[in-house]
């Protein structure tokens, strides 16, 4: 069993997804490790990945004129982020920054969209 298999089997978001679909979805995934204070993605950039957080913490941030950076949410293990891959124009709505050293499964957004389009049952289960 690969690390991705283990993480998806234990991950809160993916527990309710049909195991047959998980075997397909993992083909779009890869492991990423991000050091504390590194930016994972920026607001307005193409949403190329969707993330399932395994360990660490991630802050979702917005830039506010006159206020600077505003943390809108802090995520931990079992959370997902980067859902902008679902909706045109497929651009992130916020920044994501690792608060701690972080490990996640990063899913290729185009791969996910293609799988969901090819198998609507898989897409429905994932949603």
Structure confidence at residue 113 (pLDDT) = 94
CA atoms of 51 and 122, how far apart (whole Å): 18
Write down the mean pLDDT value for the chain: 94
Q: Is the pLDDT of residue 48 over 90?
A: yes
Range of the domain at 34: 3-126
For residues 63-87, average pLDDT: 94
Confidence of residue 104 (pLDDT cuts 50, 70, 90): very high
pTM over 0.75, yes/no: yes
**Domain total in the chain:** 1
Q: d(Cα 64, Cα 28) in Å, to the nearest integer?
A: 34
For residues 1, 84, 53, 7, the Cα torsion angle rounded to the nearest 10 degrees is -10
What band does 49 get if pLDDT is binned at 50, 70 and 90? Answer: very high
pLDDT at residue number 64: 86
CA–CA distance from 20 to each of 9, 29, 87 (Å)? 12, 15, 25
The enclosing domain of 106 has a CATH number of 2.60.120.10
Q: In terms of Cα–Cα distance, which of 23, 32, 43, 17 is closest to 96?
A: 43
């Amino acid at each position: 069993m690969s690390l991705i298999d283990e993480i998806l089997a234990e991950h809160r978001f993916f527990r309710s997804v049909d195991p047959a679909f998980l075997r397909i979805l993992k083909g779009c995934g890869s492991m990423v490790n991000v050091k504390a204070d590194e930016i994972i993605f920026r607001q307005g950039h193409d949403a190329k990945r969707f993330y399932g957080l395994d360990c660490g913490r991630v802050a979702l941030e917005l830039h506010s004129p006159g206020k600077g950076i505003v943390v809108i949410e802090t995520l931990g293990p079992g959370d997902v982020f980067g859902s902008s891959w679902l909706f045109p124009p497929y651009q992130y709505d916020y920044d994501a920054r690792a608060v701690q050293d972080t490990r996640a499964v990063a899913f290729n957004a185009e791969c996910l969209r293609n799988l969901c389009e090819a198998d609507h049952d898989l897409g429905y289960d994932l949603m």
